[in-house]
Amino acid sequence: MKRLATMAALASIVTASACGGAGQVDGAGPGGIFTTIDGSKQINASAPINPFNPVGSVFAGYNGMELAWPKNDPTDPNVFYPAIARSWTETPDQSQVVIHLQPNARWSDGRPVTSEDVKVSIGLAYTQGGTAYALDPAAAGAAADVRIVDPATVEITQGANKSSMFLSNLLSTVVVPAHVYGRLLPGNFWQTLKVAQYSSGPAADRARASITGLADKVIAFAPKQDVSAGPFVLERVNPGAALLKRNPYFYNNKVIGPDKVKVLNYTGNEQIWNYLISGQLDNAPFTSVPAAVMDRIRQVSGSGVISGYSPVVTSLAFNQAHKPYDNVHVRRALAYLIDRRQVTRIASPEGGTPAVTTSGIHARAAKAWLGGGFDALNPYRLDPAKAAAELKAAGMTRRGGRWALPDGKPWKVEIHVPASFSDWVSAAKSITSQLGDHGIDASVVTTADYTLYLSELAQGKYDIGFWLIGLGPSPYNIYQRIYGQANGWQLFGGRLKHVAPGTEGNWMGGPQTVQAGGARVDPGQLTGDLNFASPARQKQIIGTLAEVTNQQLPVVQLWDYVNTQFVNTSRYTGFPPNDSEALRLSSGVWMQLGMIRKRQA
């Protein structure tokens, strides 16, 4: 498949054509050259050295820096490693965060990193919108005020509509030098921001339009040279690779092992496989690899695999606005007919573990959130007899060994997947084969690319499709994949509304309220409440949502991803161990944390 499943994001990679060879960059030194790929994007040699540009020549953890780096905690999204921020404190009510910068942090041109850099970076983030930098005063978790306390201390205040994700979103802020990027903000920017945040009517609308109107200018900005606060600075880039050299002013330079980093370009997973088989990469993040290719990679001298928790789940999702999938008995029957172990063994033998049940959450996080309640969920183990009973309860009939719809028409199941996702295609074929063995006429329909797939999915064109869920660690992020926009619930400015199936991206078409624990509940409202609830209340809500998901089955969980990282210890050692909290971060961050040393002869 032409994407990496490093989903901390959820994400598909940008597809681009590569021309030229990786061997066109060079450089060496006592620490050697560390060779890797960027799992979040492909290289665009003409892109600016700008972290706000989605294909920019900035690589997180190397020449790109954030206030802090998130740990891979299964339930707490607010646990971070220090980066530009040495430390931070948060008031008990989460209304205010004070950031203390690294005292020795400097840019690669020798200037100190200061609070002004952080303030300018926050201003630029407002032009892009979202998370902590939404302009709507009613938006949950928006920063309301930024105050420089001293050159190394910044105080950020959250707006009135508080979110438990404020600290996490704030610490993920990309930091850029004010003396390079500051010119992008007009002189009256902060005054305009106050009008946008605290006023109403035409003046506020004009202020917001003025700020968002800067977005394209910020994205297109092309600095003449890289000015980095990270351990490396870009030396040069071509279509085949980017070469970065040591930043002599990095605040913790003594822990950085390599002298240079080479980031190779790729056009798809197959090219990454070839890099690994030829021993070119010192590290590659999660890449979907079939068993035969994995065997070849393991045979390479020094080749190894590190594995750990990845809060992402592959599921089979239903459009409940389409019959017969509006009937829960049909959805349950399909769950009873899918052998998840077989599907995982065929589709993702190295990168996944079969889902224990359907809860909406990766099993590791679910056990932490639910405790003993996890074992009380229906596991939907393979059981053709129970499946037949469910289909009969839905009014289906079996004729000539094949199941038919209640009106007597043939039941034809179509499972849609993007053609470039080889693991999903293999999984879908395995599922249709299994359904066929039990009298259900099923087929796989592929879509040319992922962008088109998502577009047609949102338009409600599919009965059944593959869908990533469980995107933790934030409980809101986990459940909004099921009870968010895709299922009719939309949160704008702190206000939640539910739209009808087939409108405004509601392709799942589930009911607004369902029965759970003897009462009617609104899953979307509960999901929205996760943004503001106390930890104790969050745990209660997650228990209810897990029960609702397990009973109603808007999706069937297939496998939980395993974060499988590839390393080669022929040139470098000191990689993080299995289950390290740093595994979802780039090897540039590993270096910042004191890992990765050149192997001694």
pLDDT of residue 4: 42
The fourth-level CATH superfamily of domain 66-220 is: Dipeptide-binding Protein; Domain 1 (3.90.76.10)
Cβ(75)–Cβ(302) under 8 Å?
Answer: no
Tokens representing residue 53 in the block: 């540009």
Query: Which stretch of 1-15, 88-102, 369-383, 486-500 has the lowest confidence by average pLDDT?
Result: 1-15
Mean confidence (pLDDT) of the chain: 92
pLDDT of residue 15: 27
Confidence of residue 93 (pLDDT cuts 50, 70, 90): confident
User: Residue 132, exposed/middle/buried by CB under 10 A (0-12, 13-18, 19+)?
Assistant: buried
Best CA proximity match to 441, nearest among 414, 415, 412, 416: 412
Mean pLDDT to the nearest integer, 539-545: 96
Tokens representing residue 244 in the block: 């970065």
Confidence of residue 494 (pLDDT cuts 50, 70, 90): low
pLDDT of residue 600: 84
pLDDT of residue 3: 42
Beta strands in 50-120, from DSSP E residues, in sequence order: 68-70, 80-82, 85-90, 96-101
Mean pLDDT to the nearest integer, 141-145: 88
User: Residue 173, exposed/middle/buried by CB under 10 A (0-12, 13-18, 19+)?
Assistant: buried
SS3 156: strand
Q: In this predicted model, what pLDDT tens digit does every residue of 165-221 receive, in sequence order?
A: 899 999 999 999 999 999 999 999 999 999 998 888 999 999 999 999 999 999 999
- Delimiting residues of CATH 3.40.190.10 domain(s) in the chain: 1-64+230-302+569-601
Tell me 575's DSSP state.
Answer: P
- Delimiting residues of CATH 3.10.105.10 domain(s) in the chain: 310-561
Best CA proximity match to 558, nearest among 289, 281, 343: 343
Q: pLDDT exceeding 90 applies to what percent of the chain?
A: 81
Q: In this predicted model, what pLDDT tens digit does every residue of 52-71 receive, in sequence order?
A: 999 999 999 999 999 999 99
Other beta carbons within 10 Å of 453: 24
**Strand pairing class (412-418; 464-469):** parallel
Strand partners for 263: 36, 242
Best CA proximity match to 278, nearest among 257, 258, 300, 256: 300
SS3 88: strand
Best CA proximity match to 10, nearest among 308, 264, 315, 241: 315
* Residue of 494 and 462 predicted with greater confidence: 462
Question: Furthest-apart CA pair in the chain: how many Å?
Answer: 80
Tokens representing residue 511 in the block: 């009911």
pLDDT of residue 26: 40
Mean pLDDT to the nearest integer, 231-254: 97
Other beta carbons within 10 Å of 56: 19
Q: In this predicted model, what pLDDT tens digit does every residue of 467-485 receive, in sequence order?
A: 999 998 999 999 999 999 9
Q: Please tell me whether the peptide bond between 324 and the residue prior to it is cis, using omega within 30 degrees of 0.
A: yes
Best CA proximity match to 338, nearest among 365, 312, 315, 313: 315
Which residues, 6+ apart, have CB-to-CB distance to 324 below 8 Å? 330, 394, 396, 405, 406, 411
pLDDT of residue 25: 38
- What kind of fold does domain 310-561 have according to CATH? Dipeptide-binding Protein; domain 3 (3.10.105)
Beta strands in 538-580, from DSSP E residues, in sequence order: 555-568, 572-573
Element holding 592 (H helix, E strand): helix 587-592
Other beta carbons within 10 Å of 410: 10
Cβ(56)–Cβ(305) under 8 Å?
Answer: no
Task: Find the DSSP H helices in 553-585.
Answer: none
Cβ(576)–Cβ(356) under 8 Å?
Answer: no
Residue 70, φ and ψ in degrees, nearest 5: -70, 135
Is pLDDT above 80 for 1?
no
- Delimiting residues of CATH 3.90.76.10 domain(s) in the chain: 66-220
The fourth-level CATH superfamily of domain 1-64+230-302+569-601 is: Periplasmic binding protein-like II (3.40.190.10)
Q: pLDDT exceeding 70 applies to what percent of the chain?
A: 95
Best CA proximity match to 338, nearest among 393, 396, 277, 382: 382
| pTM of the complete model | 0.87
Q: In this predicted model, what pLDDT tens digit does every residue of 122-139 receive, in sequence order?
A: 999 999 987 889 887 777
- Could you tell me the CA-to-CA distances from 4 to 150, 213, 270, 343 in Å, in that order? 42, 32, 11, 19
Which residues, 6+ apart, have CB-to-CB distance to 105 below 8 Å? 84, 112, 113, 229, 251
For residues 156 and 145, what is the distance between their CA atoms, to the nearest angstrom? 6
Q: In this predicted model, what pLDDT tens digit does every residue of 279-331 receive, in sequence order?
A: 999 999 988 888 889 999 999 999 999 999 999 999 999 999 999 999 999 99
